[in-house]
Structure 1
Amino acid sequence: MVKSIDTDDKRAASTTLSTARSSSSSNEDDRIARLIKHEPKANWKSYFWDTLNKSPEERRFLFKLDAVILTLASLGYFIKYLDQVNINNAFVSGMKEDLKLLGNQLNYMQTCWTVGYVLGEIPSNMLLTRVRPSIWIPACEVVWAILTILLAKCKTTTQVYVLRFFIGLAESAFYPGMQYIIGSWYRKDELAKRSCIFHASGAIGTMFSGYLMAAVYKLDGKNGFKGWQWLFIIDTVISLPVAILGFFFFPDLPEITKAWYFTPDEIALAKKRMQLEGRANRAPYTKAKFKKIFSSWHIYLLPILYVLFNNGNGATSQPAMQLWLKGKGYSVSQINIYPTITAAITVVTTLIYAWTSDTIFRGARWPPILFSGVTLIIAYTSLAVWNIPDNWKWACFLLLGVGGGISGLTFAWAHEICKDDNEERALVTGTMNELAYVFQAWLPLLIWQQVEAPKYRKGYITMVAIAAGMIFFAFLIRYLHRRDTRRKELEREGGLRDVVEA
């Protein structure tokens, strides 16, 4: 009898303790939820930066998150783009003559990079759902930085082709991987700004490569290296420290983060933010999951939109303006510096798109895409005509920068559309970037042939058609997303009615 009473007491105590723990956990969740949902009255400051309209606790957390993610993402993309586009600057700054490059060999060098990039993207993004990003991404950065310096020692085009392939393979982890990570930490009203700031750093890398080539050309002949060889050497010197920092500061994902600069409360806050946003955590890949992903329009239309964006800025990835300036008799410094104005316009318009999309357009991503497409149609139509005044030709080359800023918006849109399934989000964003570069691997060989430079009539006409297609698919995706959102709301309302009636 005594033993029975003792057992009952223990069970009662255990039940009480379990209830207390559950209540405590529930109270903690409610407290964190209140911190996130608490929105002070909107003021003009919040239109400049969204954290100014959040609770002090969430603002402190976002300050840390922005300081780390935006710094690592922007610096990483800066060095990626620096190491990606330096081949164009080197080509017009002596590499062509020293390596005796003929015909379309620059196209082949670009294609080798693209093939490596394409092969690595989807496997890398799927791997990020299983491996800590703080290990995988910095390791890839170190590899491509070391391979870049080896370009300075190349004596034949075959050596350049091989190195460019493996540089592209290593770089494939970064852009789609960072877009996936950004989409795993930020809410809808925060996403476009961060995604676009990240993307703008690539344009800054393009600008800096031009300035760097103009500066290092003065080292031509120093220590036995040509000016274009010094470009590859200095690129690596810049890249390696940035890559190494990633091993110590990358925050991984909210559900697995071990970042030393976050408190336990801040980690709980990060998880709750994504829960309230409806963004799913990691889950196993199953046959049912793959069937669901490939039966949805997301995996097809979102990549098409990004393919059109990425390949619709073809002239900016070719030395079109540089070769036109070279034909006009401009100096090496001017040939490298003047085209950076286009990249500067890309940076400015990228940020304008981000802020207007998050604030004025209240999260709508299609208006900047429409503006970009219309501007590109005007500029590329004029360049296709070619026999236009030089002043207008200058304006058209510079206006092409308007089209480079919507990449971050398309990824932000994809994160929002695919928020219910983490693995779909990783696969879709990886596929977006991969298919864009699949087309970039062969399309330039047809429409951007160096033997037709700098007129590129086929290229400019194709860009007009692509810009029109981008506008069409943006409106189609908008329609389908709104339709699906309405269906979910009706299903939710129907479920609530069933509960009330029961």
Structure 2
Amino acid sequence: MYYPRFDGTHTDSVPSGLAGIITLPVAIYGFFLFPDTPRTTKAPYLTAEEKALAISRVPEIPERTPISWGFLKHCFSTWFWYFFVVLWMIAGETESFSSNALLALYMKSHPTKKYTVSQLNNYPTGVPAVGIVSTLFWATLTDFWGGRRYLVGYWIGITGVVTGALILAYPESTSINFGMYYWAGSVYACQATFFAWANDVLRYEEDSLRAVVLASMNMGNNAINAWWSIVFYGANFAPYFTRGMYAMIATSIALAIWTTLLVWMQRRTDRRREHEGVYASREEKDPVSVQNEPDENKGAY
């Protein structure tokens, strides 16, 4: 495996096995410290009260056998799969400025300014730095505000439209290009928050359905990203990536619209769940009167 450098050379060949060694500490950490599910956790850092609280937040759901036609039919008959997979297919491409190292390509292909090798290797690292700060900020904020993950969708929508439009409007301005690429790094926040959003909405569903939805989100994004970066952000489009800027604006607008639709579906589902909970409690108190209710009242929402 060769790692390109911006001085036109390559580093020494590194076996792919050695390149993956960094994952071993993470795997060891996860084996001993990841808490598992609330009912099976043996994490030493959780007290009995904390385990009980976790169990109370995730009601027990009868598990279904995932390898069956019935399970597949169930997966594709709910809105969860379609809406969250499309959400991440769109949102994943709003990270294109960062994931395709556009700032580095912009610097390397700058028509007038020549950057040193040190600058080419160091300046673009500010983009993922912004992404780290943004991820921590939005994950903490949306938790503090009761899990309003959809706010990140609107932030990304604004970010994509503004950054793409300003780069299109001022392609010769180095300061604007740098500023917009750094700002665009903040869209990294969507990874943590959107997968958390899917987990939040699916917490009342069986674990197998949630696993399928989360895996499909990644699969859908990878299927799009396999060709998206080539069509819109290839190195031959540097330094201005005009086609990519229009794609970013369109994708960001689509994300804001899709986020709104998903919020509507979530609230609709929350109302249905609330209704079913009230219905169950009423039936325990007075099963005869509830059974005699008109069908249209039982099927609300």
Offset, 1:271 = 6.2
Aligned to 2:190: 406
The separation in 2 between residues aligned to 1:403 and 1:433, in whole angstroms, is 17
Partner amino acid, structure 1, of 2:14: A
Aligned to 1:469: 254
TM-score (norm: length of structure 2):
0.82
**1:91 correspondence with 2:10:** no
Offset, 1:414 = 0.5
The separation in 1 between residues aligned to 2:21 and 2:283, in whole angstroms, is 64
Describe how 1:32-51 pairs up with structure 2 within 5 A.
Answer: none
The separation in 2 between residues aligned to 1:358 and 1:437, in whole angstroms, is 28
**Residues 37-77 of structure 1: per-residue CA shift (max 9 Å, x gap):** xxxxxxxxxxxxxxxxxxxxxxxxxxxxxxxxxxxxxxxxx
**Residues 110-166 of structure 1: per-residue CA shift (max 9 Å, x gap):** xxxxxxxxxxxxxxxxxxxxxxxxxxxxxxxxxxxxxxx9x526xxxxxxxxx6xxx
Offset, 1:465 = 0.5
**1:487 correspondence with 2:272:** yes
Offset, 1:280 = 3.7
The separation in 2 between residues aligned to 1:276 and 1:354, in whole angstroms, is 19
Partner amino acid, structure 2, of 1:442: W
Tell whether the 8 Å contact from 1:386 to 1:455 is kept in structure 2 after alignment: no
**Residues 338-373 of structure 1: per-residue CA shift (max 9 Å, x gap):** 1121212112222221222122x3321112221221
Aligned to 2:116: 331
Tell whether the 8 Å contact from 2:171 to 2:240 is kept in structure 1 after alignment: no
Partner amino acid, structure 2, of 1:482: R
The separation in 2 between residues aligned to 1:246 and 1:363, in whole angstroms, is 25
The separation in 2 between residues aligned to 1:352 and 1:246, in whole angstroms, is 23
Partner amino acid, structure 1, of 2:187: G
Aligned to 2:70: 288
Partner amino acid, structure 2, of 1:364: R
Residue in structure 2 matching 1:384, options 168, 176, 182: 168
**1:304 correspondence with 2:86:** yes
Residue in structure 2 matching 1:270, options 51, 56, 59: 51
**Residues 398-444 of structure 1: per-residue CA shift (max 9 Å, x gap):** 11112111211111110111112211111101111111111111111
Partner amino acid, structure 2, of 1:473: W
State the aligned residue count. Answer: 282
Tell whether the 8 Å contact from 1:373 to 1:467 is kept in structure 2 after alignment: yes
Partner amino acid, structure 2, of 1:415: N
**Residues 14-40 of structure 1: per-residue CA shift (max 9 Å, x gap):** xxxxxxxxxxxxxxxxxxxxxxxxxxx
**1:394 correspondence with 2:145:** no
The separation in 2 between residues aligned to 1:237 and 1:276, in whole angstroms, is 37
Q: CA RMSD in A?
A: 2.8
Partner amino acid, structure 2, of 1:479: W
- Closer/same/farther in 2, CA of residues 322 and 336 from structure 1, 3 Å limit: same
The separation in 2 between residues aligned to 1:362 and 1:276, in whole angstroms, is 13
- Closer/same/farther in 2, CA of residues 253 and 485 from structure 1, 3 Å limit: closer
Aligned to 1:435: 220
Partner amino acid, structure 1, of 2:273: K
Offset, 1:387 = 2.5
The separation in 1 between residues aligned to 2:60 and 2:125, in whole angstroms, is 38
The separation in 1 between residues aligned to 2:101 and 2:50, in whole angstroms, is 47
Describe how 1:197-236 pairs up with structure 2 within 5 A.
Answer: none
SS at match of 2:5: helix
Greater Rg by CA: 1
TM-score (norm: length of structure 1):
0.51
Tell whether the 8 Å contact from 2:94 to 2:156 is kept in structure 1 after alignment: no
Tell whether the 8 Å contact from 1:377 to 1:464 is kept in structure 2 after alignment: yes
- Closer/same/farther in 2, CA of residues 280 and 245 from structure 1, 3 Å limit: same
Aligned to 2:149: 365
Tell whether the 8 Å contact from 1:281 to 1:422 is kept in structure 2 after alignment: no
Tell whether the 8 Å contact from 2:38 to 2:51 is kept in structure 1 after alignment: yes
**1:344 correspondence with 2:129:** yes
Tell whether the 8 Å contact from 1:376 to 1:402 is kept in structure 2 after alignment: no
The separation in 2 between residues aligned to 1:98 and 1:346, in whole angstroms, is 27
Tell whether the 8 Å contact from 1:313 to 1:463 is kept in structure 2 after alignment: no
Tell whether the 8 Å contact from 1:376 to 1:399 is kept in structure 2 after alignment: no
SS at match of 1:91: coil
Describe how 1:166-245 pairs up with structure 2 within 5 A.
Answer: 238-245=22-29
The separation in 2 between residues aligned to 1:309 and 1:317, in whole angstroms, is 12
- Closer/same/farther in 2, CA of residues 331 and 290 from structure 1, 3 Å limit: same
**1:315 correspondence with 2:110:** no
Worse-superposed segment, 364-373 or 302-311: 364-373
- Closer/same/farther in 2, CA of residues 290 and 347 from structure 1, 3 Å limit: same
Partner amino acid, structure 1, of 2:149: R
Tell whether the 8 Å contact from 2:85 to 2:220 is kept in structure 1 after alignment: yes
Tell whether the 8 Å contact from 2:64 to 2:71 is kept in structure 1 after alignment: no
